[in-house]
Amino acid sequence: MIKTISTSLLLCLLAACQSSPVATDYDTSTDFSHYRYYQLTPSKADENALMQKRLQAAIEKHISLTGLQKSQQQQDHTLLVSPLLRSQQRTQEPNSRGGIGLGSGGGGSFFGVSLSVPLSSETLVNDVSISVTLLDAQTSKVVWQGNYAFTVDADDPAAADEMVDKAVTDILASYPPKPSD
């Protein structure tokens, strides 16, 4: 029994220490060292125009850290940066609940009644998924992609700004891919 509890606690601890929620994939036959310029393509349509605006601003702010420069002319860019944002609003149940319990026992028999009451109201949240896809401009083939998903309070624009910025920073930190030895 103690071994089972210890194993369960260890698995919970490992789950809590998970690494970044960024997932990346890339074409292993691509030589990323020759890419110097990029062109940002318009975001694919999503009904959340403000989140789209945050995403494009964050990409413009952070992509230079990858070593890419914005193309000044149509012919000199080598990568097309295609951002995609999906968001969906939903109500979230409160995480905290209070309870009142009554019980009696004696002689080996027990009787109990419990009432659980939410301590706060439901909140409206956005489930957001961001994908940044890099395409070779000459072949139009996908060479690299990074994804990040998060949930943010729908009534907190400052938190949305911060989360989108963090998502883009974390996604682009994985570009260019590090060669495996």
Q: How much is the pTM?
A: 0.72
> Are β-strands 23-26 and 142-153 bridged in parallel, bridged antiparallel, or unpaired?
antiparallel
CA distances 150 to 10, 84, 129, 131, 172, Å, are 25, 14, 7, 12, 16
Instruction: Residue count of the chain, please give it.
Output: 181
Q: Could you give the residue ranges of the DSSP H alpha helices within 17-88?
A: 49-62
* Tokens encoding 100: 């009142």
pLDDT tens digits, 1-41: 454 444 444 434 434 444 568 999 999 999 999 899 999 98
- Domains of the chain are 20-89+128-172 (3.30.160.670)
Residue 129, CA distances (Å) to 11, 19, 71, 172 in order: 26, 17, 27, 15
Q: Minimum mean pLDDT among 1-15, 58-72, 156-170: which range? A: 1-15
- Retrieve residue 85's tokens: 């944002």
Omega prior to 176 cis, within 30 of 0: yes
What's the farthest any 2 CA atoms get from each other in the chain? 87
90: pLDDT strictly greater than 50: yes
- Contact at 8 Å (CB) between 125 and 90? yes
What's the pLDDT score for residue 158? Answer: 95
pLDDT of residue 10: 40
**pLDDT (tens digit per residue) in 68-86:** 999 887 666 689 999 999 9
